[in-house]
Amino acid sequence: MKRALTIAAALGALGAPAYADSHIAQGENDFKKCKACHTIANGDDVIIKGGRTGPNLFGVVGRVAGTEDFKYSASMIAAGEAGLVWTEESLVAYVADPNAFLKEATGDSSARSKMSFKLKDSADIAAYLASLGEE
């Protein structure tokens, strides 16, 4: 029994990177839903050319909310000033309902986001965005 658990654990560990890679690849594909408003560019290196309605999402994971060179809503800036740093999990929650997320993050029942689009299943996109900020 112990050997079976050891083998299962080893096989699971071997499968993890493949799952992560497929998760990221699916997120890159799913980003098509986002590029109408968002671009992904690292300086002059444009990874995905998209719209300018939303901020550049390169390096968003690990960034303080509302600090990229973009005209954010007052609520998003307040969330960043209150200490909101984007993680994969917080991006997924935000994208599912931006206004509700900001209301909870700021404690302000009138908080509003400029982003009106909602996407309930964005874990792959968040994983993809997180992979772009890695060296």
Residue 85, SS3 per DSSP: strand
What average pLDDT does this structure show over 72-89? 97
**Amino acid, single-letter form, for residue 25:** A
Domain ranges of the chain: 2-132
Q: How confident is the model at residue 134 (pLDDT cuts 50, 70, 90)?
A: low
Share of the chain above pLDDT 70, in %: 84
CA-nearest of 50, 69, 71, 51 to 59 is: 69
Residue 82 has pLDDT above 70, yes or no: yes
- pLDDT at residue 61 greater than cutoff 50: yes
pLDDT band, residue 54 (cuts 50/70/90): very high
Residues 115-127, mean pLDDT to the nearest whole number: 95
The superfamily CATH assigns to domain 2-132 is Cytochrome c-like domain (1.10.760.10)
At residue 40 the predicted structure's pLDDT band, cuts being 50, 70 and 90, is very high
Angstrom distances, CA of residue 52 to CA of 2, 55, 61, 104, 108: 55, 7, 19, 27, 27
